[in-house]
Every structure is written in C-alpha cells, then in structure tokens.
Structure 1
Amino acid sequence: MSEFSEKMKTLAAEVEEELTACFMEQFDSPDIIISAMKYSLFVGGKRLRPVLMKETCRCLGGDSQMVVKLACALEMIHTYSLIHDDLPAMDDDDLRRGEPTNHKVYGESIAILAGDALLNYAVETALAGVPNSETEAMARYIRALQILFYASGANGMIGGQTGDILCEEDGAVTEEKLAYIHAHKTGALIKASVLCGAVIAGAKQSELAALEDYADAIGLAFQIVDDILDVTGTEESLGKPIGSDEKNHKTTFVSLYGLASSEVKVGELEIRALKALDCLDHDTTFLRELATYICTRAN
C-alpha cells in the first residue's frame, strides 16, 4: 500500500470515529430504522468526501475541527443517495461495498425511510456544528451550509440523478446530457466538499475559483474512472456487480467514447486539476496526491 493510501486510511478512520460519535445519542424511534441507517453508513467506504472537506480546510490554514459536523453530514447525504440509488426503482443493485444493499436486508420500505432519515439527520448534524460565537465564523459556516444543501438538491445531485433516469427512459444521451449528469450526480458533492472546506477556512475569491476548477476536474474524473471500472474491474475489487451500466442500458463515457478515449480523458483531467492548484499560495500536496489517487484508483 502506498504512503498516500495509508494516509487516506488514517484520515478515513478519523471520519469513522466522528460518524460513530453522531450515533451515540438516544433516538426516539423504532430500533430498525436506526439499524438500517447505520448499516449503510458503516458498511465501509473511502470517506473521500468528508476527508476532502477537512483536508481542504486544513490546506488553506483553517481549523479542520470546524468542519467535522458538516463533513459527517455530507457523508450521511452521500450514503442516503446510495441507498436510494440501489433500489429496484433505480439501479436495482444487490451489492454495495461487498455487502447486500439496504433493501435486500431491510426491505424496500425501510430502505427508503432509512435514506430519508439519513438526509434529515444530516441537516440536524450540520446545524449542530454552527459556531455559537464569532460573527465571521458563523457567516462562513452558514455559507458552507448553503453550498452543501444546494449541491445535494434539485440543482445538484438530485438533478443529476433525475437526468440519469430520463436518459435511461428515452435512450438518447448526447455528450451535453452526459456532462450534465456527471457534473451534478457525482461532481456536485465532490465540489461541495472542496468549497465548504475552503469557505470555512476563509478562502479568497481567487482561491475559491481555482479550487472550483480543481473540484470540477476531479469530480468528472471520479465518475469516468467509475465508468471504466464497471467494464475493467472485478466484483471482488469493487464490492458491487460489474457491468451494471450495460445491464441498466446506461450511456457512460466508455459506451459513448470507448475505453481508450475515456482513459485519455482521465489523464487530461488530472493535469487540469493539478494546474488549477498552481496559483494557490499554500501547501497543496495532499490535494495533488488526491487528484492522482482518484485518477488511478482500482476500486
């Protein structure tokens, strides 16, 4: 395992502890719904988005502890989207991260409610992190809240998911439609991770612009690599069935442009991401290594 992979593992473990702390309180609800929420949240995962939020904040000289609650909320939002994405009405997948999907364990009704509950609990968790002093810190945090929930809704992730479903139904996917789907369904939360961390650290407008370009590049690269791995990967390495895009008649970068062209595109996006960081007067080592990690990952 590379030095960077080891670092990611350590940072992911920190997020795991922070998420666990969010579930230490007593819930006034049937045990099964909390069990279903925790099942998907703690079944595994890279914790890429919360790590990216915390490390972006740290990179710009901010206090990463200021974003812990927001980062946990982001992971809850990401997880709820996966629960719903796996449902029979959506992608109808049986495996997620090497384990049965939520609806296979708890049934469709509870799985839907578990996703809903995680989204609502994400809001509660994010609001619990609002600073109770310092006007400037509070203003930054509220701006980050706006970024996160904008990226999660109809203007972001849900808009992308809707576009994905509509394209499956009509079968006519253009390059423009595919770009919209990827930028919103996958890219929106990755961009929010970067921008939330940067805003709370007090980033200047020029820095936010550079980081937005960086985030756009790694967000699109992440999805294209997913498309590539759905063809070249294995169920064992990915923890989910391969070939699901073809099974669901989804148009992907690979089906639209071919495997070789998709791999070239990922390389171009890595270069773009690294170049975007050049104007930042901060130590961007982690963000650079993460861009390469995203573009060369095997799972």
Structure 2
Amino acid sequence: MPNLDGRSLPLQAAMAEVATDVHAMLDRLIPDGGGESGEARLSAAMRYAVLGGGKRLRPFLVVESAALFNVAPSSACKVAAAVEMLHTYSLIHDDLPAMDDAELRRGRPTVHRMYDEATAILAGDALLTRAFEVLADVGVHGDPAVRIELVKELAQAAGIAGMCGGQMMDLQAETESLPLEIGAITRLQRLKTGAIIAFSCEAGAILGKAPQQMRHALNAYAHDLGLAFQIADDLLDVEGSSTETGKDTGKDASANKATFVSILGVERARSQAVLLADQACAHLDPFGPAAERLREVARFVVDRRA
C-alpha cells in the first residue's frame, strides 16, 4: 500500500512523496510492452508522456481530499493515477501542431516530436481510455455506485462542459481573433483548467461518500484554486523561462492570445491570484485544521516558478 500520508512533512516534500507513489502506480498500470510491435510502440509513447515528471498537483489534490474522509490510501492512489493519465492525454493533444505546436513539455521534447503526430494522438487516446478503465475497476472501491460516480464526474469534467469545451473556446478565440473580456476568459479557464482540478478535489469526497455540503465546499475551493493556478500560469508565460517551467514560454503573447495578464496587467493579475488563493482557503473552514495541507496548496500555486 502506498505511503500517502506525509502530513508532518513540508508541502514540497509531501508533494514529492505523493508524486513518487503515483509514479509507481502509473508504472504498474501502464506496463512496458517490450518488443517492436505496434502495441509496444504505443505503450512506450504512453509511458514517455505519463512517467516524464511534472508537479503531479492534481493527483496530490486527490490524495489530500481523500485523506479528509479517511479513504484507503491505495484507493486514493489509483484515482490519482487515473487523473494524471487524463491530464497527460490533454497535454499530449494540446502540444500537437493543430493546437499549440509546442516543442517542450516537462523539460523534454513533446510526444509528437519524440515519436510522430499519429503516435502522439493514439497515445493520448489510449491514456484517456485507460483512465476510465482504472476508475471502473473494483480495486478503486467496493461499491459500484461510487465507481460509477467517479467515472461520470470525470467524464463531465473532461468533456464538452469541461476541459474539451474550454479548449474549443480557446482555439476559437485565437483562430477567429475574437476579443475576450475578463468574464469570458474566466469561464474559458473554469472549463479548460478548473474542471479537472475540481474533480481532483471532489474525488476524495466521492470515495468517502461524504455529505453533499462537504463536496460543495471542496468544489468552491477548487473553483478559486483553478483560477489562481491559471493566472499564475499566465504570469509564468510572461515572466518565466523554459528552463524554469519545462515548456515553451512567451507563446501567448506571440499568438496575441487574450489572457488574465494581457487584460489585467502583471501586477493586477498577481494581486487577483493572491485574492483567489485567500478565497479558496476560506472555503475550507468547515474542515478545520485537517485541511491545512490544501490551504498550503492554494498558496503554493500562486508562488510557484514552474
């Protein structure tokens, strides 16, 4: 069973410990195909993408939300791994020439650069479907109703009313040169980035069969956390370097893309991120000291440099 507690550790150490446990789970769930077959090449591309590092923030949110409800660490780790598979699929597709045409991800060549576009598309597809296969497995939870709820909620967060819908809005705004106001950008990022973060925060409550008001509190926390995270990401695109972030920077400005920073300016955007992080923490009041780690995460996403 993974050691996912680490509640006495500093945040960065706790995140690193969870990342190690989730990495080991991903390694088991996506085995090395070996050989030269098409399946082996696809497996290699999937593993290249999903085992290539990253902050593992979404898995950490799954683990921390699960800890609030005394969920078995092994169950939390499987759900965390499924979320990371889905998140990685979105990064692979987002990096494709048809989208952002990125060359770097997590400090390494993107999957379509390392392999080819067709393999990258299939690797993303395979990670997406594997995520739902993992959630549906009895090892995640003995109650089939809980597993169905997890599958349904993640599907909604990833689909037209979530990540994919937000990505379409982003592409449409860029290709059709549609001017976006702050309200439209906020809605776009709530879907594109925030929906998966919201699922990650609620997943533990689903696993723990928590009361609805507890789920609402975590969803409200995730809403503000997701927007703070995106503003910090926009700031890093302006102020950070590819060495720090592990991905291409300056692409938003070169594409003349409307972002929180382009509309608010650097200082107002930074202040707004801090305000959102404070609001996120306030939503955790019903959990008391048990949610202190999640409060630390809210402050971390604003201050991060990668």
TM-score range, shorter chain: over 0.9
Task: Return structure 1 stretches of 4+ with deviation > 6 angstroms.
Answer: none
Post-superposition Cα deviations, 1:157-204, rounded to whole Å, max 9, x if no partner, equal 000100000110222212222111110111010000011111111221
**Rounded Cα–Cα distance in structure 1 between residues aligned with 2:141 and 2:59:** 22
Q: Residues 208 and 59 (structure 1 numbering): CA distance in 2 closer, same or farther, change over 3 Å?
A: same
**Rounded Cα–Cα distance in structure 1 between residues aligned with 2:242 and 2:171:** 24
Deviation at 1:116, TM superposition (A): 1.0
**Rounded Cα–Cα distance in structure 2 between residues aligned with 1:217 and 1:132:** 29
**Rounded Cα–Cα distance in structure 2 between residues aligned with 1:206 and 1:282:** 18
Deviation at 1:51, TM superposition (A): 1.6
**Rounded Cα–Cα distance in structure 2 between residues aligned with 1:223 and 1:287:** 17
Q: Which of the numbers 274, 280, 290 marks the counterpart of 2:281?
A: 274
**Rounded Cα–Cα distance in structure 1 between residues aligned with 2:103 and 2:32:** 31
Partner of 1:55: 64
Partner of 1:71: 80
Deviation at 1:65, TM superposition (A): 2.1
**RMSD in angstroms over aligned alpha carbons?**
1.8
1:191 aligns with 2:210: no
**Rounded Cα–Cα distance in structure 2 between residues aligned with 1:249 and 1:156:** 24
Identity of aligned pairs, percent? 38
1:203 aligns with 2:215: no
Which shifted more, 90-99 or 282-291? 282-291
The code of the aligned residue for 1:150 comes to Q
Post-superposition Cα deviations, 1:228-283, rounded to whole Å, max 9, x if no partner, equal 00011111110112101112221110001100110010111111011001122561
**Rounded Cα–Cα distance in structure 2 between residues aligned with 1:251 and 1:129:** 44
- What is the aligned length? 295
Contact 2:146 2:207 in 1 (8 A): yes
TM-score (normalised: structure 2)? 0.91
The code of the aligned residue for 1:211 comes to L
Matches within 5 A, 1:116-195: 116-129=125-138, 133=142, 137-171=143-177, 172-195=179-202
**Rounded Cα–Cα distance in structure 1 between residues aligned with 2:147 and 2:201:** 14
Q: Residues 132 and 276 (structure 1 numbering): CA distance in 2 closer, same or farther, change over 3 Å?
A: closer
**Rounded Cα–Cα distance in structure 2 between residues aligned with 1:290 and 1:53:** 12
**Rounded Cα–Cα distance in structure 2 between residues aligned with 1:219 and 1:129:** 30
SS of match in other structure, 2:258: coil
**Rounded Cα–Cα distance in structure 1 between residues aligned with 2:285 and 2:263:** 32
The code of the aligned residue for 1:163 comes to M
Q: Which runs of 5+ in 1 are unaligned?
A: none
Post-superposition Cα deviations, 1:6-64, rounded to whole Å, max 9, x if no partner, equal 11111111111111110237698532111111111111111111121121111222223
**Rounded Cα–Cα distance in structure 2 between residues aligned with 1:263 and 1:281:** 27
**Rounded Cα–Cα distance in structure 1 between residues aligned with 2:270 and 2:141:** 47
**Rounded Cα–Cα distance in structure 2 between residues aligned with 1:33 and 1:279:** 45
TM-score (normalised: structure 1)? 0.94
Contact 1:62 1:202 in 2 (8 A): no
**Rounded Cα–Cα distance in structure 2 between residues aligned with 1:164 and 1:102:** 22
1:9 aligns with 2:16: yes
The code of the aligned residue for 1:286 comes to R
Partner of 2:3: none
Q: Which runs of 5+ in 2 are unaligned?
A: 1-8
Which shifted more, 32-41 or 120-129? 120-129
Deviation at 1:79, TM superposition (A): 0.4
**Rounded Cα–Cα distance in structure 2 between residues aligned with 1:259 and 1:66:** 41
Partner of 1:86: 95
Contact 2:231 2:273 in 1 (8 A): yes
